[in-house]
Amino acid sequence: MPRPKSDSKFRVFMQENLLTMLTVIGVFAGGLVGFIIKNSTGDWTKREIMYISFPGEIFLRMLKCLIVPLLVSSITSAIGGLDLSMSSKIATRAIAYYFITTISAVVLGICLVTSIRPGQGAKIVEKRMESVDKASKVLTPDTLMDLIRNMFTDNIIQSTMFQYRTEIYENTSLSPPLPMEEWDFKPAQREGSNVLGLVMFSVILGTTIGRMREKGQLLQDFFTTLSEAMMTITSWVIWISPLGVGFLIAAKIIEMDSIAATIQSLGWYFITVMLGLFLHGFGTIAVIFFLGTRRLPYRFIAKLSQVLATAFGTGSSSATMPLTIKCLDGMGIDPRVTRFVIPVGATINMDGTALYEAVAALFIAQYREMSYSFGTIVAVSITATAASIGAAGIPQAGLVTMVMVLDTVGLEPKDVSLIIAVDWLLDRFRTTINVMCDALGTILVNHLSKKDLQKVDRLNDEPHELMELGANGHDKE
């Protein structure tokens, strides 16, 4: 007896969406368990919280392990598989999209914070934290120059593990103390992959391989195969995501002092940032996407739900990158576009971070009852955009770049401590918007480049072959 068609459709639906549903369930289950444990037991020690977050930490480490080989192989194979003119067209469209969305996010954030004015009358319990103290000891010129230094790395192997950073330190033997601009400085290496340097190197290497044609085919095949291998490993790792994300969120909620008190003290600031992120993600980006494709993006956003849930749970756009590429491959996006646009976007396109930093700087200025001119607002816009590019795609990386924006307004770097209480939660929401913007930008660039890519395929007399992994891990033609 043949099975009903409805049963067959339901089975196909479950096969295609099971992982997504499990990840979303993991997010809500982690939050619920965290609230229950926090309200039913006493204070937890750091070690006990570490035990809770351990499964999530393992998941995050596995994802981060894939970042460097996937980033280098993906960008190199994508650029190497195209001629120079095609690569430049895709890059130009992607960068134009990044620039427009980032500026739009900053402008939207400034409009909201100047209209709502959340800093007036706010009552905040100021905290001193070690991360704030470290973030305070930087200068804006050093941060901007370090951004450029990291783009042009002097050691590609070292860039897989460390980033260049200029450290300043005070000579305590002098009296009176010197201003920070006159402190001594020295080059240092900060732990964490120099993604900007790796991206730049990969783009140049891919361009070189493409120009070498037949001589470079062996290298092109190597990076293509490596990229496919990393995506296969990704398809194995993502089945741990529901468990890992759930434990990460539960541990974070248990770690919070008092959720109600935190939201109460920073309520209007929290609402302003959340409103800005929502309007940008589902309004501004949707309009830009519609103008470019003549289609609404919400159906694509629904298909990205598992990626977005993972981005929220990990708080890292870089760690989510392998999942984003895999998901877009399953949606039929050209791998040559996906493997170039997503790694670059995860590095330099931080819309949510740009909006957040603009709102935070003006919020603190309002709280300190400091007047600011239109010129200051323009300066905040430019600095927030630059700071978002320099922000690493890791949890709470915006604390360091926030110092740049505060310096523009003339505020003390230690004022970062005013918003630290809700930073971890807002960080997850803005990371989700960052990842969503990257994915929709890839779909948009793919749509605009479709005819050019088809022309390249006809000239090569065969379609470009790169393995696209479906939801079940099998090859998809």
Output the pTM of the full model: 0.79
Check residue 111 and give its pLDDT. 92
CB–CB of 423/252 below 8 Å? Answer: no
Q: What are phi and psi of 3, to 5 degrees?
A: -75, 145
CB–CB of 110/381 below 8 Å? Answer: yes
Check residue 101 and give its pLDDT. 92
* Averaged pLDDT, 268-296: 93
Look over the chain and give the mean of its residue pLDDT values, rounded to a whole number. Answer: 80
Residue 278's pLDDT band (cuts 50, 70, 90): very high
Domain ranges of the chain: 16-452
Q: Which of 10-24, 138-152, 323-337 has the highest mean pLDDT?
A: 323-337
Residue 45's pLDDT band (cuts 50, 70, 90): confident
Kindly report the CATH class assigned to 16-452: mainly alpha
pLDDT digits (tens, 9 = 90+) for 391-435: 554 445 556 667 767 776 777 767 777 787 777 788 889 889 999
pLDDT digits (tens, 9 = 90+) for 172-199: 666 667 776 777 788 888 777 888 888 8
CB–CB of 363/91 below 8 Å? Answer: no
Check residue 4 and give its pLDDT. 56
Check residue 446 and give its pLDDT. 93
Lowest mean pLDDT among 110-124, 257-271, 349-363: 257-271
> What distance in Å separates the CA atoms of residue 311 and residue 318, rounded to the nearest whole number?
9
* Averaged pLDDT, 429-456: 90
Residue 470's pLDDT band (cuts 50, 70, 90): very low
Percent of the residues in the chain that have a pLDDT greater than 70, as a whole number: 82
Check residue 462 and give its pLDDT. 52
* Averaged pLDDT, 207-226: 89
